[in-house]
Structure 1
């Protein structure tokens, strides 16, 4: 799962026993060599769905990490692109790799933008927010978008209970809950806390109309349903409160 350029087991343990922010600061130099970076296949499939909806003007990558989302945004946007993350280490890496974009350090639960963007995306970040925190996240993205703007992010279908992936994700979440019950500061990262039904309801409450599109390039499950969907949350066509 890790390339030779990736972190050692010791480095991963130190990261996991840190706060989320400090953990990603430590992991940043080697993050792109881990399976935690959003795969190019997911980025490319997202771009395929968004391309017919563009081109877009200014865009925002929420919880941008080292800037992998630039693979999606750069070809689709005519205006400036901004990435926001709370890890200084991840942003430093993003600045070196993509010097033409703007990179802002901020907590995604309190985004410092208002009516600035036509498109916002996020990749692999929802698990870092507890369910009680997602309304603030979605409300902040809503405020950051212009009327008629779009917030898009991929979300995987839950694996069947008979699959190894189901039990691996459940085991990870249980281990993280035990870790956070016994160790401070907490490291928030869970796989099974953001079902699509809850996310849709929270986005609607924040002022979005929500549809989904299958990311067909990522394949289908045995029952024929897509392995991954792209959530497409459009702002209702008036300014955010």
Structure 2
């Protein structure tokens, strides 16, 4: 049974989009990982940002590098900010769990978004990653460091996070046709994030 806080994620971000925009760090501490990701894609290409939020700072970084960006988020209030700031990119309001764009991308990223899903829903996402990628595509996402659920708080409300075990992520990636390029759990150089970078092999 899905945790109530997992079901409430989209409505929480919808209601607190302004607070998120105000509090989200824009120091781009993620840059070393973003650069590893774009190095796989090459100088130009298309990126699918899954759980893009308001588009800052990650989508903004890719757009500045000349990539074509499609941002997907389930919270319309977050997307409204992204559309206003970056009107020439494509922004789609969709639940990532039902994503079916009938298109593939050179890079797929789910940074601090995928880990808000239940463990069962996370497992289901790997088929979605596969359907939206092709041979050579890069995939990067953040997770927790170990199997389990971790509850945080945002604007006084419970904030759900879940993770599979590292070996389970490796298994899911392999089954979806991806090889792990790099993976660091609790990366001290990236504000403690656990990051997975993979590439589609076939």
Do these two structures clear the TM 0.5 threshold for a shared fold by scoring above it? Answer: yes
Contact 1:122/1:153 (8 A) holds in 2? yes
Q: Hey, what's the Cα distance between the residues in 2 that align with 1:138 and 1:39?
A: 29
The equivalent position to 2:60 in structure 1, one of 67, 71, 83, is: 71
The equivalent position to 1:211 in structure 2, one of 175, 181, 191, is: 181
Post-superposition shift, 1:23? 1.4
Post-superposition shift, 1:227? 4.6
Aligned residues: 190
Q: Hey, what's the Cα distance between the residues in 2 that align with 1:56 and 1:232?
A: 18
Structure 1 segments unaligned to the other structure (5+ residues): 1-15, 159-168, 180-186, 221-225
Equivalent positions of 1:92-107 (< 5 A) are: 92-107=80-95
Instruction: Provide closer, same or farther for how the CA distance between residues 118 and 52 of structure 1 changes in structure 2, counting only shifts above 3 A.
Output: closer
Instruction: Provide closer, same or farther for how the CA distance between residues 113 and 204 of structure 1 changes in structure 2, counting only shifts above 3 A.
Output: same
- Normalised by the length of structure 1, the TM-score is 0.66
SS at match of 1:189: strand
Partner of 1:47: 34
Q: Hey, what's the Cα distance between the residues in 1 that align with 2:180 and 2:96?
A: 20
The equivalent position to 2:18 in structure 1, one of 29, 34, 47, is: 29
Q: Hey, what's the Cα distance between the residues in 2 that align with 1:85 and 1:195?
A: 25
Aligned-CA RMSD value = 3.2
- Normalised by the length of structure 2, the TM-score is 0.77
SS at match of 2:16: helix
More helix by share: 1
Q: Hey, what's the Cα distance between the residues in 2 that align with 1:61 and 1:153?
A: 10
Q: Hey, what's the Cα distance between the residues in 1 that align with 2:171 and 2:138?
A: 16
Q: Hey, what's the Cα distance between the residues in 1 that align with 2:25 and 2:176?
A: 26
CA radius of gyration, larger in: 1
Post-superposition shift, 1:109? 1.0
Q: Hey, what's the Cα distance between the residues in 2 that align with 1:60 and 1:202?
A: 20
The equivalent position to 1:189 in structure 2, one of 141, 160, 173, is: 160
The equivalent position to 1:198 in structure 2, one of 140, 152, 168, is: 168
Post-superposition shift, 1:157? 4.9
More strand by share: 2
SS at match of 1:40: coil
